[in-house]
Amino acid sequence: MALQAGDKAPDFTVNDQDGNPVKLSDLKGKKVVLYFYPKDMTPGCTAEACNLRDNYRFMQKQGYEVLGVSTDNEKSHRKFIEKEKLPFRLLADTNKVMHDAYGTWVEKSMYGRKYMGTARVTFVIDENGVIEEIIGKVDTKNHAAQILKNEATAPVKAVVKERPAKKTSAVKKVKKAAPKKVKKASAKAKPARKAAVKRKK
pLDDT of residue 173: 46
pLDDT digits (tens, 9 = 90+) for 49-59: 999 999 999 99
- The yes or no reply on domain 13-149 and CATH 3.40.710.10 is no
pLDDT of residue 69: 98
pLDDT of residue 150: 52
Q: What does the alpha-carbon distance between residue 192 and residue 199 come to, in Å, rounded to a whole number?
A: 11
Quick check: 149 and 18 in contact, CB under 8 A?
A: no
Q: Spell out a b/e string for 21-40, using b for 16 or more CB atoms within 10 Å of the CB, else e.
A: ebebeebeeebbbbbbbbeb
Write out residues in the chain with pLDDT < 50, as ranges: 152-178, 181-201
pLDDT of residue 110: 85
pLDDT of residue 1: 61
Q: Annotated active-site positions, please?
A: 45
pLDDT of residue 192: 46
